[in-house]
């Protein structure tokens, strides 16, 4: 019996200053054995929880108060959104993919782990025609949470407005690949322009933020083989906060949209097909309403914050910053 060996797909997060990055191994190429259509379906089902989490994380961590800085005020804040994948996304049903080349071996479970699922319990597939080729599905990385740490700088502008920037210049890591991220947001306390509203002892603002993240992980440089992740997201939110000495309670409600594109780039030799260029590409889109609630503790120029956001995936966010009003 001819066996196509698919070793465990290692999917680990590297935590760095701005955002969590994937270190994806070349084993994903083994999905190409069989048919390109099946490779597309298997890759998408396996990576979906991470693709969704990455997009959701980009729309988090924008604020810890509704009150903008004054004209001379600014802050530098380290914040770390932590996305919790849903338990229902820990596995996927292979039979629901309607594969054309592969089928689940007799006696094997039709459910196999996604990248966030268990390290064990992966299924074995056989080709439908002869059963002489097999494909060992990868186990998961057992990801209980997916962090996306980042640094932000916020500066006060005229008319009760604040601009927020988040970025990380593209960095190349030898033998791994490259990554980079940037984003910009604007917060405005429009209630200050409504005469009677100035007497209300709360701050109410509107925020809009956009973030873009790109990464490319090397598989084989001679063949220019690499796995690319591109994600972008925007959020529009109404913010409310109430401050007493030292403590601020804050929250927000609004709309999120994000898109994550994943592509296998380069030239590959595929059994029964021949040479194929850029064989796999798919995307994940997320949109919907969200709400969060949090606390900020300010001690002199230091401010610590923590909040939780509701949505398809829960997102915890915590951080610390240096504030100058």
- Which tens digit of pLDDT belongs to each residue from 240-298? 999 998 999 999 999 999 999 999 999 988 777 788 899 999 999 999 999 999 999 99
Predicted confidence at residue 197, as pLDDT, reads 67
Contact present, 309 and 60 (Cβ < 8 Å): yes
Q: What percent of the chain has pLDDT over 70?
A: 90
Within 8 A by CB and 6+ apart from 205, the residues are: 66, 67, 68, 187, 188, 189, 190, 191, 238, 239
- Between 194 and 101, the higher pLDDT residue: 101
Paired tokens of 169: 């210049």
Q: Does position 11 have pLDDT exceeding 60, yes or no? A: no
Predicted confidence at residue 103, as pLDDT, reads 95
- Which tens digit of pLDDT belongs to each residue from 299-313? 999 999 999 998 888
Q: 181 to each of 2, 79, 84, 230, how far by Cα in Å?
A: 44, 15, 21, 10
Within 8 A by CB and 6+ apart from 92, the residues are: 45, 46, 48, 111, 112, 114
Q: Report the C-alpha gap between 218 and 45 in whole angstroms.
A: 22
For the segment 108-126, the average pLDDT, to the nearest whole number, is 90
In this predicted structure, which of 9-23, 29-43, 67-81 has the lowest mean pLDDT? 9-23
Q: 160 to each of 244, 273, 317, how far by Cα in Å?
A: 20, 61, 25
Q: What is the mean pLDDT of the chain?
A: 85
- Which tens digit of pLDDT belongs to each residue from 16-42? 333 333 433 445 777 888 888 999 999
Q: 111 to each of 94, 132, 197, how far by Cα in Å?
A: 6, 22, 56
Predicted confidence at residue 10, as pLDDT, reads 30
Predicted confidence at residue 27, as pLDDT, reads 55
Exposure class string for 151-162: b at 16+ Cβ within 10 A, else e: bbebbbbeebbb
Q: Does position 87 have pLDDT exceeding 80, yes or no? A: yes
Neighbours of 98 (CB within 10 A): 9
Band of pLDDT at residue 178, cut at 50, 70 and 90: confident
Predicted confidence at residue 209, as pLDDT, reads 98
- Quote the distance between the C-alpha of residue 30 and its chain's center: 24
- Between 80 and 28, the higher pLDDT residue: 80
For the segment 50-65, the average pLDDT, to the nearest whole number, is 91
- Between 318 and 215, the higher pLDDT residue: 318
For the segment 138-142, the average pLDDT, to the nearest whole number, is 83
Predicted confidence at residue 50, as pLDDT, reads 86
């Amino acid at each position: 019996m001819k066996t196509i060996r698919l070793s465990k797909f290692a999917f680990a997060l590297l935590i760095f200053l701005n955002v969590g990055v994937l270190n994806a191994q070349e084993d994903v190429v083994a999905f190409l054995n069989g048919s390109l259509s099946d490779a597309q379906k298997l890759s998408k089902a396996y990576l979906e929880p991470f693709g969704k989490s990455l997009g959701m994380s980009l729309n988090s961590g924008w604020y810890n108060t509704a009150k903008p800085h004054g004209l001379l005020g600014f802050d530098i804040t380290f914040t770390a959104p932590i996305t919790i994948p849903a338990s229902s996304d820990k596995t996927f049903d292979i039979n629901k993919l309607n594969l054309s080349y592969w089928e689940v071996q007799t006696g094997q479970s039709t459910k196999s782990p996604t990248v966030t699922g268990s390290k064990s319990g992966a299924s074995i597939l056989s080709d439908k025609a002869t059963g002489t080729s097999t494909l060992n599905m990868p186990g998961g990385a057992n990801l209980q949470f997916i962090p996306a740490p980042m640094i932000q700088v916020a500066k006060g502008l005229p008319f009760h407005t604040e601009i927020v920037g988040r970025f990380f210049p593209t960095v190349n890591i030898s033998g791994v690949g490259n990554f980079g991220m940037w984003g910009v947001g604007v917060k405005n306390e429009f209630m200050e322009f409504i005469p009677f509203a100035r007497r209300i002892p709360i701050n109410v603002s509107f925020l809009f933020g956009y973030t873009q993240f790109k990464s490319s992980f090397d598989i084989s440089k001679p063949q220019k083989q690499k796995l690319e992740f591109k994600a972008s997201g925007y959020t529009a939110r109404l913010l409310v906060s109430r401050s007493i000495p030292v403590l601020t309670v804050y929250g927000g409600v609004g709309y999120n949209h994000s898109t994550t594109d994943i592509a296998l780039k380069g030239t590959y030799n595929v059994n029964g097909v021949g040479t194929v260029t850029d064989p796999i590409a798919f995307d994940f889109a997320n949109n919907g309403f969200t709400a969060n609630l949090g606390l900020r503790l300010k001690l002199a120029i230091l401010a610590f914050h923590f909040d939780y956001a509701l949505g398809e995936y829960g997102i915890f966010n915590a951080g610390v910053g240096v504030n100058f009003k």
